[in-house]
Amino acid sequence: MTKYLIKGGNRLHGTIEISGAKNAAVAILPAALLVDGICRIENIPQISDVTLILQILQELGAEVRTISRTTVEVDCTRVRNRQVPYELARKIRASYYLVGALLGRFGWAEVPLPGGCDLGGRPIDQHIKGFVAMGAEVDVRNGLICAKVPGGRLQGGQVYLDMVSVGATMNIMLAAVLAEGLTVIENAAKEPHIVDLANFLNSMGADIMGAGTDVIKVRGVERLRGGSYSIIPDQIEAGTYMAAVAAAGGEVLIQNVIPKHLDCITAKLLEMGVDVEERDDAVMVRRNGPISRTNIKTMPYPGFPTDMQPQIAAVLCLAQGTSVVTEGVWDNRYRYVDEFRRMGASIQVDGKVAVIEGVETMTGAPVHACDLRAGAAMVIAGLAAKGVTEIDSVHHIERGYECLVEKLAAVGADIKVIEVPDEEAAKPQVG
């Protein structure tokens, strides 16, 4: 088993370069299925979720060429197989984008129900509602989402989402680009990766208007052609390192970001007494004094992102005073709280609300990365804690953070990867 070992207490100094956005990449790569020709996609993050999507595309018959560490060329012209391999698809959430993309291209798709982080119920009824509004018949059976269009080609439709859903918005967009006529998505999500997917598709010849607002209109076109596209920087990766500096203290320039995408995170850090200075494509984050308490409520963009909730909670554990965190998106995003308690944090959870009483110091402990962002939060807590923190199940972290250990070590963190024999890892932990 791979673990991260962190000796806390080092302040962070230097520069961190942000990679391409995970949640944009995992939608843009399946979108290549809709394109006739070669898609050159740049600023791809090297994370295991991306590796899995590329593997699935290859299994379907796509040609994937690695051009450089961050650039791939994907050619789906010769894809004929529409059955997505079960073992690969169930490992990630984003495999649901294959339904929209395959339905749009072939009028038929069979995709295993997706996996991903356990954040409580993760229904896909709104995705299905969208496909049905465009004339598809959708059935969920034997662990598979089976969708087909009786006439072969989807028809534009009107879809009102019952809740703001990132996945449903993107999936319906994917299905709609090659449909006949106009599709209107109302109450659409507005996250930066929604705009990025629309920009990618438009640059390949799609006709999508309104991405980034709550009404998106997609006028179907006959075909998409190949081209080049560069993925936006990862808002959440940047936010995670901003939170790391806030917790550990120090001064770090976080580069290759779109500062506007970070406004919701920056605003909260400023309230907490952290200094954030915006540059053109970077933010300088400094924390020398004490951390002030604040309240956080997670919401769809431009609200405070749920994917930053555990990381900011790690910082609030060390704030002066009591903070209230309210989770507004997922039913169960506090599974990490027990791990924080092992490190000396004082947190009470009641349903979707966590009350955090700041403590002066946290102490290192063996902890478990229960999901991607919870794992990132363990790293942040470990950087600020006194003593040694050992984090297991770091494969969750590697699903979404490229070279996290290297990036943090380069700014002065004492963090390393250790390999522990499985028998050793299975022993009960003391601490």
Using the rule CB under 6 A, is 125 a contact of ligand EPU?
A: yes
The answer for residues whose C-beta is within 8 angstroms of residue 403's C-beta and 6 or more apart is: 19, 46
What distances in angstroms separate CA 383 from CA 175, 353, 363, 365, 415, one per listed residue?
43, 25, 10, 12, 8
Stretch that binds ligand EPU, among 69-77, 120-128, 253-261, 345-353 (CB under 6 A): 120-128
Cβ distance to ligand EPU smaller for residue 75 or 234: 234
Does 94 bind ligand EPU (CB under 6 A)? Our answer is: yes
Q: Which residue is nearest to ligand EPU (CB)?
A: 167
Say whether 117 is catalytic: yes
Site for ligand EPU in 383-402 (CB under 6 A): 400
The DSSP secondary-structure symbol of 73 reads: E
| Angle at which helices 97-106 and 22-31 cross, to 10° | 20
Distance in angstroms (rounded) separating the CA atoms of residues 17 and 234: 10
Residues 334, 326 contacting (CB under 8 angstroms): no
CA-to-CA distance for 92 and 88, rounded, in angstroms? 8
Binding ligand EPU by CB under 6 A: which of 31, 117, 247, 253? 117
133 part of the interface to ligand EPU, by CB under 6 A: no
The 182-221 contact track toward ligand EPU, x by CB under 6 A, reads -------x--------------------------------
Q: Which of 165, 183, 199, 311 is close enough to bind ligand EPU by CB under 6 A?
A: 165
For ligand EPU, the closer CB: 193 or 287: 193
For residues 135 and 150, give the distance between their C-alpha atoms in angstroms, rounded to a whole number. Answer: 8
Please tell me whether residue 149 binds ligand EPU under the rule CB under 6 A: no
Instruction: Look at residues 153, 160, 310 and name the one whose alpha carbon lies nearest to residue 236.
Output: 310
Q: Nearest CA to 2 among 422, 372, 366, 307? A: 422
Amino acid identity of residue 230, one-letter, is S
CB of 372 to ligand EPU, least distance (A): 4
DSSP 371-387: SHHHHHHHHHHHHHSBS
Of the residues 39, 76, 117, 317, only one is catalytic, namely 117
Stretch that binds ligand EPU, among 10-18, 56-64, 163-171, 267-275 (CB under 6 A): 163-171
Q: Which is nearer to ligand EPU, 109 or 319 (CB)?
A: 109
Interacting residues of 9 by C-beta distance below 8 A, sequence separation 6+: 384, 385, 386, 414
Please identify which residue in the block is written with the tokens 């560069």: 230
Position 56 contacts ligand EPU (CB under 6 A): no
CB of 170 to ligand EPU, least distance (A): 7
- Any idea which residues carry the catalytic annotation? 117
Interface positions with ligand EPU (CB under 6 A): 23, 26, 93-94, 117, 121-127, 163, 165-168, 189, 306-307, 329-330, 372-373, 400
